[in-house]
Structure 1
Amino acid sequence: MATVTGLFERALGDDWDDLHPAIRERYGLTAGDGRTAVGRGVMDRVDRNPLALPALWLGTLDDFLFPEAGTHVPFTVAAEAFVDDAGREALFLRRRFDTDPPREFVDTLRWNPERGCLADYFGHHGAVVADVHLGVEGDALALRVGDQWLRAGDRFLPLPGLLSARGTLRDRYDDDADEFRVEAEITTPILAPVGPVFGYRGRFENEFRATGDDRVGSSLGGVPLPGTDG
């Protein structure tokens, strides 16, 4: 039987082995594992730019951005691998922030062989799609958001540079504290002079549970992938 490779391992190639073992275990999920990774912790800070509030409010309609900010915000993050309707390995992530009101940030990842990177579908319906490029910094996982599109069915409309966002995420494991540390930031060319659009920094512990009837569950089935021509 052929070995199934997780999305992050496929994207990183030989660099996968440079990650901290705890990072590899958490991000090495495949659909056949029958496990869901569940992290629980606290966001030390959740920040947003007041000038970006209209766009952040719009993101709440499909659970991929939100306008609240705060400190010491409890949160959970669940990651579940599945096979989509087109037979492709995929990974669904759901983050819940206990702001007032509570908010969620969900996305679904797939490998895109046409572009040689991951494709990230934001929200439950994946109307915004982005290339995601992975790297290793020390033994930490580094993620960078690249080109982006608006998706309408099978069609992709490239977002021009001024309207697109630039996102980074860094996930590392702190051996002394025995916990994961995560920080993420989203910027745009228009608002760059006055700071990030949205970001968070926090820490969490991870456990694995059997994937059963209480699946995290992505609503995205066999959606198309953006091609090299955008």
Structure 2
Amino acid sequence: MDRPSLFEKVFGPDWEALPPVLRQRYAPRAGSRDLVLLKGALTITMAPWLERLSPLIKLSRTLAPFTGENIPVVIRFCGEAGVEACDFDRSFMRPDGRTHRFRSRLTPYFSDEMVEYMPAGFAWRATYRWDGARIAITHRGYLLPLFGRLLPLPLDFLFGRGEAEEEAIDQDRFRMKMRLLHPWFGEIYSYRGEFTVARVEAVD
């Protein structure tokens, strides 16, 4: 693998300090079609009032619009040939047997930031930093892609601020958690669980 991971420059000098499982998790090289396959399970919670809006969440094709414990999840994290981007494709297995798919696209922004483009037409900006024990993913705002530019979008009051962290368990597994914090209502959505790196495939 002669080219660096897309995330290597995001983490900078901390890249080599990441536990091996987290380097694998972020292994796709810039400009390649590398694949990382993750398998795991999440416990998903929502504020009761937000759960009543689950049909709208489903229409957005983003967050899983249901709650439950140990929801099986499969993630395909793929590079894109010729460009600095990753395809982030999650499949949530609903308790009723159906599958909810959440697919987004990640591209580098500033030195330690990524922009995640959502199916609903907006984007989320966040920093990725290693604090010596875990990766901290911190909200930096929502954006509107328009005519090749990214314009600030004041949606914190509507969607809340996203934050997440990932921590190695062993050579093959890591735990993660994510939550949305609303400025008025506190935590309105969260998920937490463990994943195994099932496959890492280098594809030029």
TM-score range, shorter chain: 0.7 to 0.9
Contact 2:72 2:93 in 1 (8 A): yes
Aligned match of 1:219: none
Partner of 2:37: 38
Change (3 A) 1:105 1:207: same
1:190 alignment partner, SS class: coil
The structure 2 residue matched to 1:88, chosen from 83, 87, 92, is 83
Asked if 2 retains the 8 angstrom alpha-carbon contact of 1:39 and 1:78, the reply is yes
TM-score (norm 2): 0.83
Identify the residue that residue 23 of structure 1 maps to in structure 2: 22
SS for the counterpart of 2:28 is: coil
Alignment partner for residue 102 of structure 2, among 102, 105, 111? 105
Q: Secondary structure at the match of 2:14?
A: helix
Distance 1:172 1:161 in 2: 26
Aligned to 1:226: none
> Aligned to 1:48, which of 36, 46, 49?
46
Unaligned runs of 5+ residues in structure 2 are: none
Asked if residue 131 in structure 1 is aligned to residue 125 in structure 2, the reply is yes
Partners of 2:152 and 2:21 lie apart in 1 by 38
Q: Give the alignment partner of residue 143 of structure 1, picking from 137, 143, 155.
A: 137
Aligned-pair identity (%)? 23
| Residue in structure 1 matched with residue 162 of structure 2 by the alignment | 167
SS at match of 2:91: strand
Distance 1:6 1:55 in 2: 38
CA displacement, residues 6-60 of structure 1 (integer Å, 9 cap, x when unaligned): 23211111122221111112202115554311111222x1111122246643232
- Residue aligning to 1:7: 6
Determine the C-alpha separation between the residues in 2 that align with 1:210 and 1:138.
Answer: 27
Deviation at 1:94, TM superposition (A): 1.2
Kept in 2: contact 1:56–1:65 (CA 8 A): no
**1:89 and 1:98, CA in 2 relative to 1: closer, same or farther beyond 3 A?**
same
Across the two proteins, how many residue pairs are aligned to each other? Answer: 199
One-letter code aligned to 2:100:
R
User: Using the alignment, how far apart are the partners of 1:82 and 1:158 within structure 2?
Assistant: 27
The 8 Å contact of residues 20 and 139 in structure 1, kept in 2 or not, is answered as no
Match of 1:197 in 2: 188
Q: Deviations over 1:116-143 (max 9, x none)?
A: 62111123x6x12121101113342221
C-alpha distance in 2 between matches for 1:118 and 1:151: 14
CA distance in structure 2 between the aligned counterparts of 1:25 and 1:88, rounded to whole angstroms = 20
Q: Residue 119 of structure 1 contacts residue 132 of structure 1 at CA under 8 Å; is this kept in 2?
A: yes
Unpaired runs of at least 5, structure 1: 213-230
For residues 161 and 142 of structure 2, the distance between their equivalents in structure 1, rounded to whole angstroms, comes to 9
Amino acid aligned to 2:46: R
Note if contact 1:179-1:203 (Cα within 8 Å) is conserved in structure 2.
Answer: yes
Say what the alpha-carbon RMSD is for the aligned residues: 2.6
Paired amino acid for 1:10: K
User: In the superposition, relative to structure 1, how do residues 81 and 15 fare at CA in structure 2: closer, same or farther (>3 Å)?
Assistant: same
